[in-house]
Structure formats: C-alpha cells, structure tokens
Amino acid sequence: MLSARPAPPCNAPVEVDALDTRQYARMRFVARCPDPRGWRHDFVVRARVSAMVAVTAAPIGPNQVLGDADVTLERRDVTLISDAIGVPEDAVGRSSRRSLRAGEVLRSGQLAAPILVKRGDQVLMVARTDGIEVSMAGEALDAGAQGAVVRVRNVASGQVVRMRVAGAGTVEPLDLPRAGR
C-alpha cells in the first residue's frame, strides 16, 4: 500500500536499512534522513515471488511413485512456499507422503524416497572393492529407502549386521565408500 503523504524533504541522501527480510511476505525497512533535523519512517513491504516450479499433472495417491507423466512445470506464486521443487527431475522417482491434487505445487516435504527394501525381504548383501565383489543372501529386518541404514540377517551365519540400502533388494556394508563417489 502506498503512503498518502510524501516524505519530507531531506538535504542529504536518504539512508534505507533492512530491519527484517526473512520472509518475502513481510519485510521491514527503515528510511532515515541523516540531517540534524532529519526524520525516520518505518515501512512494511509485502513482496510476491513467482517461479517456474514442479506441479502435479494429475491426482497422486499416497505412497505413489511419481513418473515423468505425473509432473509438469508451471509458473506459480511461491512467496509462502520455502521448499518448492524447481525441476521435475527432483520429484520423479520419489513417492508422495499423502494424496496430492492435480495442479498442486510439489514440495520437498511432501515427497519421500521410495522404500527399496522392506522388512522380511530377501536381499543381496554385496561388498565391492578394488574390482572384487562378494555377495551373499540376507534378510532385511528393517525397511529403507536409497542410502538408509537397515539391519540385515546373514542367511548363512545368522549374524545381524547394519548395512546401507544400495538399490532395490541390494544392501552394502557401511564401511565401504558408496558407488560412484
């Protein structure tokens, strides 16, 4: 909203300082005239920010994995959305935590990495180092997404170890560097 009265004259350049700019929807500034008989005015500025963001192309059910056809880009007001997803690739392959309406802006908090290993699944325990690969059968005692740490029982020895989910039905030791790094 514009002020109805103009600022009084100032014989020096007006100084403007930001008091609070954490939220675009409500920023506070102060304008000062550094004259000996100067003045001070506080202003509240409400900005609106729009950007091209990922939105749902169709309704999405809870725990549904998003595919290319489920996500599109549209310009939307994101002033109050701190975790909007900017590119469809960041949403594709992730699953929804809840139902999403068609045209809804996709937010990081609404999506989760899909569960690749479920409790009770038979998994392949794989250790690779310096061109050598060792694998054995295991049973997942926890569920986990890519990179999650789960407990796995070695089928042959019965020993329970903590391993990292490497892919669908595959786990790797925690102490080995991740593939591709």
Q: Each residue's pLDDT tens digit in the chain (181 positions)?
A: 455 677 788 999 999 999 999 888 889 999 999 988 889 999 999 988 899 999 999 999 998 889 999 999 999 999 888 899 999 999 998 989 999 999 999 999 999 888 889 999 999 999 988 889 999 999 999 999 888 999 999 999 999 999 999 988 999 998 876 554 4
For residue 25, give Cα distances in angstroms to 21, 40, 76, 128. 9, 23, 15, 51
Determine what percent of the chain falls in helix, strand and coil, rounding each to the nearest 5. Answer: 5, 45, 50
Q: Do 163 and 176 form a contact (C-beta atoms < 8 A)?
A: no
User: Rounded to whole angstroms, how far apart are CA atoms 130 and 48?
Assistant: 54
Same-domain pairing of 124 and 167:
yes
Same-domain pairing of 162 and 129:
yes
Q: Is the pTM of this model over 0.75?
A: no
| Residues spanned by the domain of 97 | 50-112
Same-domain pairing of 123 and 153:
yes
